[in-house]
Amino acid sequence: GADLRLAVSEACTNAIQAIDVAEQDGAVELAIRGTRPPSYTVFKLQDPPRLVVDLAGADLLALAEGDGWLYTAVDVTPIYDDHPAVDRVERELVLIMPDVLVVFDRVDSTGGQQIWQLSSPINPTVSGARATFAGSGHSLTVDRVLPAGATFSVRPWADGEYSGGYRLDGTVAGGSVRHLHVLSTDGAVTSVAAADAGGNRGVTINLTDGRTATVRFSPDAVGATLQISGGVDETLAAGVDTLPE
């Protein structure tokens, strides 16, 4: 899974470094790598069937679902345990079902670096602002829209502690930075383009099924807009809805 690491001292309660999913003995195994043993709860939801892992140290700010989309926002600043270099770390996610995930990170830090990370058992290929993880049966594409000054690099996980795997790093200097990435599977996206408007940071996504989606996020507070051709026009705001189980 994608996460964002701030290059500050290891004073945080538990910084999540990677989330790996693998098949083991006919079952799906989820491995969450952190700097410390986590405190968590696990529960299942239906329609669609899904497993929820609730890690302590993050506050849910928004949750909403509509026809063909899901939106959530979380404040993960508490994970950094009041570290003086970390002022704010918030993440908003818009899932355009079934194959596209838009990830927006609102990060304010002092000094150091900000590193947007994605771990995988597959070594990705990088071409500018796009990284592609090509498996034997499926593929994952990561398109970086923001920040423009970031650079992608790949690092192997095999360092003595882990036996294999790779990590995609998007590195940029610390400060008040907004990160915007589009993740898509199996060629679901033909192109992405920055689509800022009204002071908001956004992206327009052209899908292989002929649809166009535009997502814009407020740079300073939780909230977004979502338009998908075919009739979706939503204003997404803070607040947690009760979703069907």
* Rg for the chain, CA atoms, rounded: 18
Checking 214-223 for CB contacts under 8 A at 24+ apart, the result is: 215/94, 215/102, 215/104, 217/92, 217/104, 217/106, 217/178, 217/180, 219/106, 219/178, 220/106, 222/61, 222/62, 222/73, 222/90, 222/92
pLDDT interval class at 9 (50, 70, 90): very low
More confident residue, 25 or 81: 81
CB 228 within 8 A of CB 209: no
Q: What is the mean pLDDT of residues 8-27?
A: 55
| Cα–Cα distances in angstroms (integers) from residue 78 to residues 40, 73, 118, in the given order | 15, 14, 21
| Cα–Cα distances in angstroms (integers) from residue 70 to residues 76, 126, 209, 243, in the given order | 19, 28, 19, 10
pLDDT interval class at 11 (50, 70, 90): very low
Q: What is the mean pLDDT of residues 128-137?
A: 94
Render pLDDT for 78-120 as a digit per residue (tens, 0 to 9).
Answer: 888 788 889 999 999 999 999 999 999 999 999 889 999 998 8
Nearest-angstrom CA–CA distance, 33 and 195: 34
Write down the pLDDT at residue 241. 81
Q: What is the mean pLDDT of residues 32-38?
A: 62
Write down the pLDDT at residue 39. 60
Q: In what order do the strands lie in the sheet with 224-228?
A: 189-194, 201-207, 212-217, 224-228, 232-236
Residue 175, pLDDT > 60, answer yes
How do beta strands 166-173 and 151-156 pair?
A: antiparallel
How do beta strands 86-96 and 166-173 pair?
A: unpaired
More confident residue, 61 or 47: 61
Render pLDDT for 200-232 as a digit per residue (tens, 0 to 9).
Answer: 999 999 999 999 999 999 999 999 999 999 889
Residue 22, pLDDT > 70, answer no
Q: What is the mean pLDDT of residues 153-161?
A: 80
